[in-house]
Amino acid sequence: MSQNEVDALRQAGSDTGHREFAERMVRALSDGLQILEALPRDEDFWRGWANEHATVHKLGAHAADRLQRDPADRTARWALVALALARGASDGGLPLLGPEIAADPALVADALVIADWVGQELGLDLTPELREVCAWADRDTLKALAKTEGGDAARAALRVLEPRTPLSGHG
């Protein structure tokens, strides 16, 4: 795994107060690279590359291809999110989370972390993108989660889903 991406994730996680999430993203990169490394070298994917070494650059291409073929591929999806965060992408991979949030509305917490991370690191307000991915969640499930102890993320997601609600202050 490229130490540059790992260091970038850990540094940004530390800077933004999201160390645990950063470590999850490091694991997502590692998991994606393990799958790429295990790919037989006679697979079509390897054609056209200068060599058959698994790198984070190739991981991005491989994960995007896998996700296109199988939208339920969580490893590919999270590897792409981790790469986006490590490389300072202006959306932090947030748009990739819609299907994950549809399957598990509790993952709005991860969407909030990404939006906060990008806001702190790049100074960008991802309220529109956050609203879009949170809209994938079942509203009744979000409301139920919001009523639980520790339902802060669900409450924040419900606020974001309200028209003209800015991201700032989501916690």
- Per-residue pLDDT of 2-35, as tens digits, reads 788 999 999 999 999 999 999 999 999 999 999 9
Q: Return the HEC string of the chain.
A: CCHHHHHHHHHHHHHHCCHHHHHHHHHHHHHHHHHHHHCCCCCHHHCCCCCCCCCHHHHHHHHHHHHHHCCCCHHHHHHHHHHHHHCCCCCCCHHHHHHHHHHCHHHHHHHHHHHHHHHHHHCCCCHHHHHHHHCCCCHHHHHHHHCCCCCHHHHHHHHHHCCCCCCCCCC
Supply the pTM of this predicted model.
0.89
Q: What are phi and psi of 42, to 5 degrees?
A: -95, 5
- Cα–Cα distance measured from residue 156 to residue 169, given in angstroms and rounded to the nearest whole number: 9
How many residues in the chain? Answer: 171
The rounded average pLDDT for each run of 10 residues, N- to C-terminus, in the chain (171 residues) is: 87 96 96 94 90 91 96 96 94 95 94 96 93 94 93 92 62 45
